[in-house]
Structure 1
Amino acid sequence: MALTEEAFTALVDGGCLACQGKKLRVEAVVAQTLPLLGGELYGAPSWAYKGEHLVRGTYRISCEGCKQELFTTGDCPCCDAPGGLERGLASTTSVALPSSCDGCGCELVTATAYVPVDVVYEGKRANKARTQTTADDEGFHAFRLECKECHATSERRQPCPFCST
């Protein structure tokens, strides 16, 4: 079951009950945008999510000190399908990153993908989200493509772009 914003806030503000530590690791699935030129990464990826999306995508919160799990779920962070998290993290994207726009042929395309991230919270302060996942890795799931020239878009909504349920 996904966390509510209130439950998430209570967990990260409260810290670890076992060791009283305030430094928590949040593992989540969130959206990242990737600028592409000819199908290759062109520039730095950027985060394409807001705070509520981080909360919705959270699948584990644990203490950095004692490693105690404060929250965990195996449901898909996008569609809530039971077991969807494991399927999504163990599979690769079904949406190929294009070398050009199908409509106008422009080689500049922006892809948006779900990727797993780690965020470290200490009290009310969060570090930047970090991921080691690239387009060829398990856990990377492109779901939206947009041409920078003609602005044509395509977006996968069904089946679930993360777990394929």
Structure 2
Amino acid sequence: MQDNEHKRLVEMIDGYKGKEGSLIQLLLDLQSEFNWISKDALQEISERLKIPPSRIYRIASFYEAISLKPIGKHKISVCMGTACQVRGSGMILDRTESKLKIKQGGTTPDMRFTLKRVNCLGCCAIGPVMVVDDDYHGRLTSDRVERIIKKYD
């Protein structure tokens, strides 16, 4: 971690001192700021807030929105719920993996994209669905996948 990143980390953690029950929000804020939470950051949280490392890790590893390993600048989630599957989400996932040259759960070597499959995105009526960052793309076809990825490249 670079000095300026460490300084920002300490500022953010110290902003939560004395605030009971705010660990999840702190972790989400750190995720938003750094795009992942390192072991060093977990240790810093433990030391500065006097919370056992095991408790922090248990919470951080439980939430899907928190990553304990570096992820890409853009997070792509492909819905694999029943409604999306019957409409071809398997092909959408295959095409996305092929285009990015990674498997689901992976991150491109240039750290631009991380690809995940999710059980349901809650918008079954417009399936198959892909979310890139916070942008929902519905009624997908294999051809649209390439155009969508290019938009974020």
TM-score bracket, shorter-length normalisation: under 0.3
TM-score with structure 1 setting the length: 0.26
Higher strand share: 1
Q: Which of the pair has the greater relative contact order for Cα pairs under 8 Å at 6+ separation? A: 1
